[in-house]
Chain A
Amino acid sequence: MNHSISLTVNGARRDFVLDDPRVTLLDLLRERLHLTGTKKGCDRGQCGACTILVGGKRINSCLALAISHDGADILTIEGVARGDQLHPVQAAFIAHDGFQCGFCTPGQIMSAIGMMREGQAGDDPERIRECMSGNLCRCGAYAGIVDAVLEAQAGASETNRRRSA
């Protein structure tokens, strides 16, 4: 059974025919759209490497069927920077060495961006640790990750303050 679906991926609309309803968003991105920035660490919702934003919210793309997300607006790591200009979270990850092997990094960054949009963590490191706990890092780059998010968060608050001033 073929199903035609359409998705907006990193701002571009993509229409295609899905020949198999078993395809997850993760496998769709990686193996069919060749957007391999999103990683597969467990395929079972247990690591966060596959985190993407759907409708602005972070989810595990390995436990989401593509077909069920017909019409969704998806942001992946490939769509975060504007050309050469890094997203503040990306820049902060580099500055604070928020990764080592880098395999969990796309998921961490998408998760951090999603978290900042959720507005639940603010600048409390303990909240950030809790809210970033859905992203495992076997290299143990957590300290840098928290520092990076704190910096990005501070930058975002600063921008907001300036905007509202």
Chain B
Amino acid sequence: MKPFDYVRPATVAEAVAAAAQPGATYLAAGTNLLDLMKGGVSRPDLLVDVTHLKGLDRIEPLADGGLRIGALVRNADLAHDEDFARSYPAVAEALLSGASAQLRNAATVGGNLLQRTRCAYFYDTASRCNKREAGSGCDARDGENRTHAVLGWSESCIATHPSDFCVPLVALDAIVEIEGRKGRREIALDGLHRLPADTPERDSALEPGDLIVAVRLPPAARGFAAHARYLKVRERTSYAFAVVSAAAALQIENGRIKEARLALGGVAAKPWRARGAEDVLKGAAPDAAVFQQAAQRALTEAKPSGDNAFKIELARRIVARALTLAAAGTPARMPALPASPFASTSGAIHA
């Protein structure tokens, strides 16, 4: 690991000032950043440790019915917060399907949002990678790319964003509160991550020094608690990133879908909100036919970026299934295997 300086600011303002310097990076739990530093992928000169900042580790219900989650709240603490899990079950399920219990205990909300892609060529410093080194090329494009993007990719980068947490969050219109050199501002989570276009080196809309201080769920997000699921297909039962995932949240009234929220994970450089599919669902009766239709709609713009055409079909099926599961109702208890297709495997076998 490259030598670096380390500062532990006492206030948010100090943190922002420190991190605005060239070569500076925020350190939260470090479960992504340290990994990248060990691999020589990130080589910061200065770490600005935000974990000791006061007041950023709270989960606060807001007067308007929304919820404010401090950027330093640990992934596990959030998922296990009973009120939170009851109100936003798909978010809790997504959190619990990510990484491992140890990593979730450490990982922060802010760090999870800003974790970087798992593209193997991004990690391999001997490969060309436009995201790691602007303009160097993309070795994934003709390389081993069966898990790469099928939506929103460009010739310069076909990487995906790996976060599970972000997927239901983006579906629920989460808002990111940012403290920057010019003070506080907020943006929709949907606008935080950037699609690559010609500048894949920029993952997000953040400017140097920008500190995420909180993620907010708007009042309406609560309205989906009864019908919300996260579904994640992976290559082993646990401790693996999504091949493809989906968050589905419905409001069902009088046998009709009043509101629908749908987002996909593992398919693009950002958590992929499928608004077109939501439109298909809105007002319809929650049945298999409309779920299929929504699934088709969600992937209309998808195209393979390599050996990954299967992900498009898989994504359609995951969408349909996630909607089916959501329509069936949020389970009373968190499944033993959160977000897994095997969430409930016990049961009799029939020939």
Binding site for B on A (CB under 8 A): 1, 3, 20-22, 24, 43-45, 48, 51, 57-60, 63-65, 67-68, 70, 111, 114-115, 118, 120, 124, 126-127, 129-136
- In the complex, identify which listed stretch (B99-107, B154-162, B307-315) lies at the interface while the others stay far away: B99-107
Chain B contacts with A in 103-127, Cβ cutoff 8 A: 103, 105-106
Query: How far apart are the CA atoms of A111 and B102 in the complex, in Å?
Result: 8
**Of A21, A111, A134, which contacts B4 at CB under 8 A?**
A21
Let me know if B27 and A60 touch, CB within 8 A: no
Let me know if B238 and A57 touch, CB within 8 A: no
Convert B50-77 into 0s and 1s, putting 1 for each residue whose CB lies closer than 8 angstroms to a CB of A: 0100000000000000000000000010
Let me know if A44 and B35 touch, CB within 8 A: yes
Give the nearest-CB partner of A50 in chain B. B102
Select the residue from A1, A68, A126, A135 with max chain B CB neighbours within 10 A: A68
Name the distance in Å between B3's Cβ and chain A's nearest Cβ.
7
If A60-B31, A60-B106 touch, does A133 touch B336 (CB 8 Å cutoff)? no
Name the distance in Å between A136's Cβ and chain B's nearest Cβ.
8
Which 4 A/B pairs are nearest by Cβ-Cβ distance? A134-B100, A133-B238, A126-B336, A21-B6
Which A residues touch B102, using CB under 8 A? 45, 48, 51, 58-60, 111, 114, 134
If A1-B6, A22-B4, A59-B106 touch, does A131 touch B101 (CB 8 Å cutoff)? yes
Which A residues touch B181, using CB under 8 A? none
Name the distance in Å between A107's Cβ and chain B's nearest Cβ.
9
Let me know if A120 and B80 touch, CB within 8 A: yes
Name the distance in Å between A92's Cβ and chain B's nearest Cβ.
19
Name the distance in Å between B96's Cβ and chain A's nearest Cβ.
9
Select the residue from A63, A115, A120, A129 with max chain B CB neighbours within 10 A: A63
If A64-B106, A133-B239, A134-B99 touch, does A22 touch B3 (CB 8 Å cutoff)? yes
Q: Does B237 contact A (CB under 8 A)?
A: yes
Let me know if B101 and A68 touch, CB within 8 A: no
**Can you offer 29 A-B residue contacts whose CB atoms are under 8 A?**
A1-B5, A21-B5, A22-B1, A43-B38, A44-B38, A44-B39, A45-B31, A45-B102, A45-B103, A48-B100, A48-B102, A51-B102, A59-B102, A60-B103, A63-B35, A64-B29, A64-B34, A64-B106, A65-B30, A68-B51, A114-B101, A114-B102, A118-B76, A118-B101, A120-B80, A131-B101, A133-B239, A134-B100, A134-B102
Let me know if B239 and A134 touch, CB within 8 A: yes
Convert B319-343 into 0s and 1s, putting 1 for each residue whose CB lies closer than 8 angstroms to a CB of A: 0000000000000000011100000
Query: How far apart are the CA atoms of A45 and B32 in the complex, in Å?
Result: 9
Give the nearest-CB partner of B334 in chain A. A120
Which B residues touch A21, using CB under 8 A? 4-6, 47
If A3-B6, A134-B100, A134-B239 touch, does A127 touch B336 (CB 8 Å cutoff)? yes
Which B residues touch A129, using CB under 8 A? 238
Q: Does B49 contact A (CB under 8 A)?
A: yes
Query: How far apart are the CA atoms of A129 and B335 in the complex, in Å?
Result: 13
If A44-B38, A60-B102, A133-B238 touch, does A67 touch B6 (CB 8 Å cutoff)? yes
Which B residues touch A24, using CB under 8 A? 34
Which A residues touch B27, using CB under 8 A? 65, 68
Query: How far apart are the CA atoms of A51 and B101 in the complex, in Å?
Result: 10
Give the nearest-CB partner of B100 in chain A. A134
Give the nearest-CB partner of B28 in chain A. A68
Convert B1-40 into 0s and 1s, putting 1 for each residue whose CB lies closer than 8 angstroms to a CB of A: 1011110100000000000000000010111001100110
Query: How far apart are the CA atoms of A120 and B259 in the complex, in Å?
Result: 32
Query: How far apart are the CA atoms of A67 and B346 in the complex, in Å?
Result: 46
Give the nearest-CB partner of B31 in chain A. A63
Give the nearest-CB partner of A44 in chain B. B35
Let me know if A134 and B3 touch, CB within 8 A: no
Which A residues touch B238, using CB under 8 A? 129-130, 133
**Of A63, A70, A127, which contacts B34 at CB under 8 A?**
A63
If A60-B106, A63-B35 touch, does A115 touch B101 (CB 8 Å cutoff)? yes
Let me know if A118 and B6 touch, CB within 8 A: no
Query: How far apart are the CA atoms of A118 and B4 in the complex, in Å?
Result: 35
Name the distance in Å between B309's Cβ and chain A's nearest Cβ.
29
Which A residues touch B1, using CB under 8 A? 22
Let me know if B49 and A68 touch, CB within 8 A: yes
10 extra interface residue pairs, beta carbon distance < 8 Å, beyond A64-B106, A65-B34: A57-B76, A60-B100, A65-B6, A65-B30, A65-B49, A68-B8, A70-B8, A127-B336, A133-B101, A134-B239
Name the distance in Å between B237's Cβ and chain A's nearest Cβ.
7
